[in-house]
Amino acid sequence: MVPGRYWVLEVYRMAPAQREASNSRVLVPWMSTFGIGVILSGAAFSAGGRIPCAVNDEVVKAPRDNLLVHAGEIREFEKSPLLAKPARSAVPAGLLDCPHSCQRNQKLIGCPERSLLPDSRSIDMAKWSKAKAVILICALALSGTAVLGQSGSSFDEVVREASVAREQNDVPRALQLYSRAVEVNPKWAEGWWSLGSLQYGAKLFSGARDSLSQYIALVPNSPSAFALRAQSEVELGDYEKALADIRQSLVLKGGDPSNEERLHIYECVLLTRLGRFEESLQAYRYFVEKGISTPELSVAIGLAGLRMALLPKEVSDDQREVLSGAGAATYQYMAGNEDGAADAFHSLFQHFPSQANLHLLYGTLLFPSNREASLTEFRREVDVSPSNQRAQVLTAWALLMQNRSLDALPYANKAVELNPESAAGQLVAGRTLVDLGQSREGMEHLERALQLEPENLEIHIALAEAYSGCGRKQDAERERALSLKLAQNRTNPFALP
């Protein structure tokens, strides 16, 4: 410590072994990281590891121009008020002065005959109480606050060493140093980014996610941080949060085309992994419109089209050919080359006759423009895989669109049997029964579908028609209003084509 003005705080300490009472003068520097506990009235003091202070002969670095309190008084010291070691012969004047002329071992320790609190006969107790209050308030106010003169230079040194370690590709040391730096200064955004990116590169994905979250809290408009955190979340299997982060990154992308493409592929891949296949196929239209086509993209589109909830990196070698072919054929159809797509799909049917969801994919693409051809593909899918609930649903739906409710009934019933918790299955069953005049039973299915997917537009439309047919005008009007609202907001997830 350097010369200057100090406060000296006398603290009662209990020796842990003998439980004997003694007085210790503890130097508590001004503007330090006051991560300490102070109980003046109970005479207890504990110093945390980062507090620049001195207890007895143990000296920890302290900043310049420190203030310490002694019985509520401020003292001026022309020399350092600390003894470096017990062996040192000189004792700074004024520090160990005691009414009993006690200088025990030339250490920074008070007289055992003195009480903890200043003598009320020589010190104004009102002033001492105020001093105690001031100290306690300072301790609370400064808790967790940044440090200090000398440790500022220490922080800069740690930052410099961390940067050097990173440049030298000494990742373990860089991780250690950046971790130390952000612990000292949690508001250092660049440090959190460096730490998070290094952790991601070292496959420490949980730490990377947490560090990047700290960075995002400080820099909330960084698309790169959201994207990298999303990649960490993918590695941790948290796909919902990863998708949310990717979409936030897209909002903040800032017009970088290459970055935008990368973010869109992540969005599509995550939708597929979450089993939201129709949304994923729609999202892949971005690449079709941009004319972007790669072998990797074909495989990714194939995963969505064949309803395989996998990441591209999880695809096995024996799956790659059919996925690539299905993705390429789908891309051609989306790009307007319907004849080329038809040839590609028929070639796939010949080479992979038992491949699940292949006929379903082609039928789904055909449905908006050619209902009869799509129905043929749906029925072929049912023949290939009778347990394919989605194929049963779409076959029933295609028949309903042709007013063939009686033909749709067995497919609708089978769809509910295969998966009672499917909103689409409940919808086609309800629509079919209502069309066949069984309104009460039909509405039970429709209301169950609404419970499963309250924002599905097709369900609200079906309920409006069902309520109207039963004379429930109020309910029918409510469902029509909700249908209009959902159609305008375009927030509804379509369970069906």
Q: Which CATH number is 372-497's, of 1.20.1090.10, 1.25.40.10, 1.10.940.10, 1.10.3480.10?
A: 1.25.40.10
For residue 324, is pLDDT > 70?
A: yes
State percent of the chain over pLDDT 70.
67
pLDDT in tens, 339-389: 999 999 999 999 999 999 999 999 999 999 999 999 999 999 999 999 999
* Averaged pLDDT for residues 66-84: 37
pLDDT higher than 90, residue 132 = no
Query: What are the pLDDT digits (tens) for 178-193?
Result: 999 999 999 999 999 9
Q: Does 495 score more than 50 pLDDT?
A: no
pLDDT reported for residue 134: 46
Residue 379 is encoded by which pair of tokens? 């029925």
Task: Please tell me the least confidently modeled range out of 62-76, 197-211, 323-337, 338-352.
Answer: 62-76
pLDDT tier at 338 (50, 70, 90 boundaries)? Answer: very high
For the 149-223 domain, the top CATH level (class) is: mainly alpha
* pLDDT per position as a tens digit, 198-257: 999 999 999 999 999 999 999 999 999 999 999 999 999 999 999 999 999 999 875 567
| Residue-level pLDDT at 126 | 52
250-290 tens-digit pLDDT: 998 755 677 889 999 999 999 999 999 999 999 999 999 99
- What does pLDDT average to over the chain? 76
pLDDT number for residue 253: 77
- pLDDT (tens digit, 9 = 90+) per residue, 137-168? 444 344 433 333 334 458 999 999 999 999 99
The pTM assigned to this predicted structure is 0.68
Instruction: Return the domain boundaries, the chain.
Output: 4-142, 149-223, 255-355, 372-497
pLDDT band at residue 296 using 50, 70 and 90 as cut-offs: very high
In this prediction, residues 170-177 reach a mean pLDDT of 95
pLDDT tens for 432-478 read 999 999 988 999 999 999 999 998 899 999 999 889 888 888 999 99
Taking residues 301-310, report their average pLDDT.
Answer: 98
Nearest to 413 by CA among 454, 442, 383, 384: 442
**Burial classification of residue 305, based on how many CB atoms lie within 10 Å of its CB (0-12 exposed, 13-18 middle, 19 or more buried):** buried
Mean pLDDT in residue range 88-116: 36
